[in-house]
Amino acid sequence: MLYLASLRDEDGAGADETPDPTREYVSIRAVSDELNIGFSFLTKVFQQLNDAGLLTSKRGPGGGVALTRPPGQIRLYDIVVAIDGDALFEECVLGLPGCGEAEPCPLHESWTETRGRLEEMFRSTTLAEVPDVRLTPFIEGADGPLPGATEETTTS
């Protein structure tokens, strides 16, 4: 999702602009190759994001995937829940059944506090707000910061 959002910035589309219905889709194979992520795995993840309404897909020549909304309107929380469900924000960090206020696990109190802060951060942060994601180490052949990165963000 961060990669797709970075392509929108590269194309000159702003974080809160309505997606252009005529814009080209990005092939899953291209994303797989660029980020060195297994094609089958990526296809499954993109299907989950598509089912959640965060991506749209198109088959055939010129097909692929595209964000359904501008990066400034896609919350990290929605991405995590689309892929992993809401267990991260609901369940025991140790995975112990029955953990709760009545029968807390050893980490219950501290995890409850941390989980709340984590959920708030994911709910209040959009793709457009993720600071200097530094995808370049993951993109084969990349030799610098992502397009749109400023000198200030690349040196801090």
Give the tens place of pLDDT for each residue, 101-118. 899 999 999 999 999 999
Nearest to 30 by CA among 5, 54, 65: 65
pLDDT at residue 142 greater than cutoff 90: no
Domain 2-137 carries which CATH code? 1.10.10.10
Tell me what pLDDT residue 147 has.
Answer: 43
- Find how far residue 126's CA is from the centre of its chain: 9
Give the tens place of pLDDT for each residue, 27-79. 999 999 989 999 999 999 999 999 999 999 998 888 899 999 999 999 999 99
Q: What is the pTM assigned to this prediction? A: 0.74
Tell me what pLDDT residue 62 has.
Answer: 84
Residue carrying the six token digits 């589309």: 13
Pairing relation of β-strands 55-58 and 64-67? antiparallel
Q: How confident is the model at residue 7 (pLDDT cuts 50, 70, 90)?
A: confident
Give the tens place of pLDDT for each residue, 120-139. 999 999 999 886 555 555 55
Residue carrying the six token digits 């793709």: 127
Nearest to 139 by CA among 34, 37, 39: 34
